[in-house]
């Protein structure tokens, strides 16, 4: 594993990097779901789960330029997006006018307890250090309604590396973490989630991607 940025700087490095590449990134991923039928099926399953529970607001956390948020809206989900990068939020609002996008960090979600019916983190956990994953999942648990579905995607593997260039050749400084399903499931269990489905696949989204569907367990009385 390569040296990680200091814990004091990784959030700012991530924000600055994605501000720098926002326009190029939005262009690159805009139509990516057209090439990923399995991912579309998973998103449709997630939307059906939200609907079967009576609907409600769904947070797309780490929404980037808003393509997953917009797709969920097309599936009938009352989805809104949250992202750390002002540049990404600008692209999301430009490309999907009329939808709700707001600045925020998954390490400190500014949402009320039990206020959302579902949550998606679509390849947005890949820059979160291991030491912060527990905090992130506790926030996910806090803001979700009991039984609410959680959909995660991530890069599968055992290594982490520093990404210094990306999306149009622009400079970046972010850690990219690859993780195993067992590691993710363990963290989710500790945070109060039950994992119902998980799989690994190769597609345009990731050379080796993981998809995981979980639900928030009720708090123990």
For residues 81 and 69, is the Cβ–Cβ distance under 8 A? yes
CATH of the domain at 70: 3.40.50.150
> What residues does 55 pair with on adjacent strands?
none
Please give the tally of structural domains in the chain: 1
Give the global pTM. 0.93
Residue 2 falls inside a structural domain: no
Q: Which DSSP category does 108 fall into?
A: S
- Whether residue 110 lies inside any domain: the answer is yes
Whether 221 maps to a domain, the answer reads no
CA distances from 214 to 2, 55, 72, 199 (A): 30, 17, 18, 12
pLDDT bucket at 97, cuts 50 / 70 / 90: very high
pLDDT in tens, 59-90: 999 999 999 999 999 999 999 999 999 999 99
Domain that holds residue 126: 10-216
- Residue 4 is assigned to a structural domain of this protein: no
Q: What is the pLDDT of residues 109-149, one digit of tens each?
A: 999 999 999 999 999 999 999 999 999 999 999 999 999 99
158 domain residue, yes or no:
yes
Q: Which of 107, 68, 103, 57 is nearest to 83 (CA)?
A: 103
Q: How far apart are CA 108 and CA 94, in angstroms?
A: 25
Q: Is residue 3 part of a domain?
A: no
């Amino acid at each position: 594993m390569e040296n990680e940025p200091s814990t004091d700087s990784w959030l700012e490095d991530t924000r600055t990097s994605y501000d720098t590449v926002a326009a190029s990134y939005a262009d690159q991923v805009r139509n990516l779901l057209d090439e990923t039928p399995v991912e579309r099926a998973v998103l449709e399953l997630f939307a059906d789960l939200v609907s079967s529970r009576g609907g409600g607001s769904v947070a797309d956390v780490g929404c980037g330029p808003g393509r997953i948020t917009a797709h969920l809206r097309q599936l009938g989900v009352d989805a809104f997006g949250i992202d750390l990068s002002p540049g990404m939020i600008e692209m999301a609002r430009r490309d999907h006018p009329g939808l709700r996008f707001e600045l925020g960090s998954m390490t400190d979600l500014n949402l009320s307890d039990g206020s959302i019916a579902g949550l998606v983190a679509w390849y947005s956990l890949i820059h979160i250090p291991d030491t912060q994953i527990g905090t992130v999942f506790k926030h996910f648990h806090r803001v979700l309604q009991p039984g609410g579905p959680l959909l995660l995607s991530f890069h599968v593997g055992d290594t982490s590396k520093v990404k210094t260039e990306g999306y149009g050749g622009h400079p970046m400084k972010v850690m990219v973490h690859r993780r195993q399903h067992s590691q993710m499931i363990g963290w989710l269990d500790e945070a109060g989630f039950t994992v119902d489905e998980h799989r690994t696949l190769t597609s345009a989204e990731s050379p080796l991607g993981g998809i995981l569907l979980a639900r928030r367990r009720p708090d123990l009385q």
